[in-house]
Structure formats: structure tokens, C-alpha cells
Amino acid sequence: MENIDALLNLVISYQVIAYIALFLGMILEGEIVLILAGILLHLGAINFLPSIILILSGLVSKSFIAYNLGAFLRKRYPESKILKYIQKRAARFFPHMEEKPFWSIFISKFLVSLNNFALIFAGYLKLKFKTYFKAEIFSNLLWGSIVISLGYFFSFTALTVTQEFKKFALIVILFIIGFIIIEKIVTFIYEIFEQFYHKHIKNSEDSKYSEDSKDSKYSKDSK
């Protein structure tokens, strides 16, 4: 336990830096930082209230930055390679974002590496900000609660197994890798579902259009 105590003392000694890293981490990355926050909360290295405030502040800041970045890129650099790449990625996973903005923004939070693309794409499309922000609030509250609880659980389980720092760290790393793999599997399943659903809708619309055309032609012939 001495090694873990040494780590805790180090984090506590530089707690301000840990809080700053927590805030910036929520803007730049999210999942791993939030899991680590849950671990540090369980170990008592950081305090609950300031951590939650900084996490929420970071997530809200990210929402505003990403949305406005999308709007900025559309206005200033509409033909840029980075914007085209974002469009391609977002359109692939969220082809119905304009029709279902709340659902697209909400579900993107649970798909690995796709939330940033979805948020920037929402700004590019100039989606209604009220709907966008509402989806962000609900998804962040649910997603944040789940992920930080997982970090807390990882730490609790690892300490139950061992109190040696190296083994503790190894167990936590394995947990994180497992979490990322599960996220990737969920993302893959969602991609298949979205492509199947999009294809089904398109075929239905084509079929309806074909039937309407035949009916229109039949009416003209009757006259």
C-alpha cells in the first residue's frame, strides 16, 4: 500500500494541477480522464464537489466550443479537408442528424471517438442550439454518471484484489482496455444498424415514389 499512498500524496500535493487537468481533459478527451477521476475519487486523492463542478464545466465548454467550431469552419473554410473529413465521418454514423438531431447528439456520447465529430457537424449544419444543448445536457449527465461510477468500481475492485501499486495499476489498465473494446463493439453494432436502417428507409421511399409515379401515370391515361 506504500506505493499507492505515495501516489496519493503526490496527487494531493499537486491537487490544483490535477483539477486543471480534469477540466481540460473533459474538453479534449473525456472517457479515460473520467475513469481516472472515478479512481482518484475512490482513493480520496481529489474531492467530490470541486471534481463534479469541473467535470460539468469542461463538458459544457466542450459543447460550446465544438458547435461554434463547426459554424466557423462552414463560414470560413467550407472546402477544407478537415471539414470534409468531419462531414464524411458524421454523415456515415449520423445520416439522420437533421431529421433527428436530439437522438443523434445523445447517442454520439456513447460511441467511441464519434462525439466530437457529431458536435462539430451539428454546428456545421446550424442545428437549433436549444435542441443541441438539451441533448448534450442529458447525454452528459447519463454518460458521465456511468463512466465515473465505472472508475470508482475499477478502483474498488482492484484494491480488493491487491494493495500493491503495480498490480493495482495493471488491473485498472486491463479494466480500461476492456471498457474501450466494449465501446468499439457497441460502435460497430450501431454503425451496422444505422446503415441497415438508412438503406431500409431509402428503399421504402424509392418504392413509395415508384408507386406514386405509376398512380399518376395511370390517372393521366384514364383521362
Spans of all domains in the chain: 2-185
SS3 127: coil
In this prediction, residue 101 carries a pLDDT of: 92
In this prediction, residue 212 carries a pLDDT of: 53
In this prediction, residue 26 carries a pLDDT of: 93
In this prediction, residue 143 carries a pLDDT of: 93
Angle between helices 165-222 and 129-161 (to 10 degrees): 150
In the block, residue with C-alpha cell 454523415: 91
In this prediction, residue 163 carries a pLDDT of: 79
In this prediction, residue 29 carries a pLDDT of: 78
In this prediction, residue 206 carries a pLDDT of: 54
13/169 Cα distance (integer angstroms): 20
Print pLDDT tens along the chain (223 aa).
457 777 788 888 889 999 999 999 999 878 899 999 999 999 889 999 999 999 999 999 999 999 999 999 999 988 888 888 888 888 888 888 888 899 999 999 998 788 899 999 999 999 999 999 999 999 999 999 999 999 999 889 888 888 788 888 898 899 989 988 998 898 888 888 877 766 665 556 555 555 555 555 545 555 5
